[in-house]
Amino acid sequence: MKSLKILFKTEVILAIRSIDAIFFGVVFPVGLMFLLGFIYKDKPAGDGAAYTMLQLSFAGVAAVGICATGLMGVPISLADYRHKKILKRFQVTPTSPMKLLLAQGFTQFLISVVSSSLVFLAAKLAFGYKLMGSGIKFILVYLLVLITLYSMGMLIASVAPNIKTANLLCTLVYFPMLFLSGATIPYEIMPRGLQIAADVFPLTQGIKLLKGVSLGMPEENFLFQFVLMAMISVICIVISIKCFKWE
């Protein structure tokens, strides 16, 4: 327990020092929230809509932190620790390399939660954002989407033979999802064709789910997304455990 605590503390310090996790995971989405707030102000989402553009966009921006930590932070740090044989060094001590992975997972989770909380505060305090649905339900769905994206990140780290491939895979998955899933550019303003293409990304479905809950829409509309997220998580976790290599 003592070592897990110190590991977690160290990993958090290292993440803050490395800047990119903080920039892509926290600064970028909070900045984006301000930008969207200034652009939309209290513009309604379409004629006679019950909610504003800001309320429609919130869930997507709140998910940017999950996307950055899950598809960049998790896989790249795992691949890096394996590449540097840090996991192997842990194997010749009484502690377990599993603890390092756990501490790393907690760290990414913390960054993601801080990111989404700051996005929420920015939207609420600067632009009067109001969550229309249930807060508890939103948090639960948020956790589900987080588990799904982290399991995809673990899958990338497990199947990539080396750090270069891991980097390439992350870039190939991260950027399209970041821009096309509705996290940064609202899904609703995309042309129909692009929307169909974007639907392929798990994060697009995850954001639809988050959006639905944040706008207080009836849950049964999102059963498909819910089941899909759960299924992707299970599949990715099973494959990553099967393929994982310590070195």
Minimum distance, C-beta of residue 4 to another protein, in the bound complex (Å): 9
Of 62, 156, 74, the closest CA to residue 109 belongs to 74
Shorter beta-carbon distance to another protein: residue 3 or 117: 3
Minimum distance, C-beta of residue 206 to another protein, in the bound complex (Å): 30
Shorter beta-carbon distance to another protein: residue 134 or 167: 167
- 232, HSE (Cβ side, Cα atoms, 13 Å): 24
- Residue 13 tokens read as 């310090």
Secondary structure (3-state) at 52: strand
Minimum distance, C-beta of residue 14 to another protein, in the bound complex (Å): 5
Q: Which of residues 1-20 bind another protein (CB under 8 A)?
A: 2-3, 6-7, 10-11, 13-14, 17-18
Residue pair 136/49 in contact by the 8 Å Cβ criterion: no
Helical spans, DSSP H, in the chain:
2-17, 20-22, 28-40, 53-62, 64-68, 74-83, 86-91, 97-127, 135-159, 163-180, 192-198, 202-214, 223-243
CA distance 152 to 158: 10
Minimum distance, C-beta of residue 98 to another protein, in the bound complex (Å): 12
Binding mask 90-119 for another protein (x = CB under 8 A): xxxxxxx-----------------------
End-to-end CA distance of the chain: 25
Shorter beta-carbon distance to another protein: residue 21 or 53: 21
| Stretch of residues binding another protein (CB under 8 A), selected from 78-86, 126-134, 153-161, 173-181 | 78-86
Shorter beta-carbon distance to another protein: residue 15 or 59: 15
Shorter beta-carbon distance to another protein: residue 17 or 242: 17
CA distance 63 to 18: 21
Shorter beta-carbon distance to another protein: residue 4 or 132: 4
CA distance 97 to 119: 33
> Residue 171 interacts with another protein (CB under 8 A)?
no
CA dist list (Å): 127 to 42, 63, 161: 8, 19, 46
Binding mask 25-64 for another protein (x = CB under 8 A): ----------------------------------------
- Contact set with another protein (CB under 8 A): 2-3, 6-7, 10-11, 13-14, 17-18, 80-81, 84-86, 88-96, 247
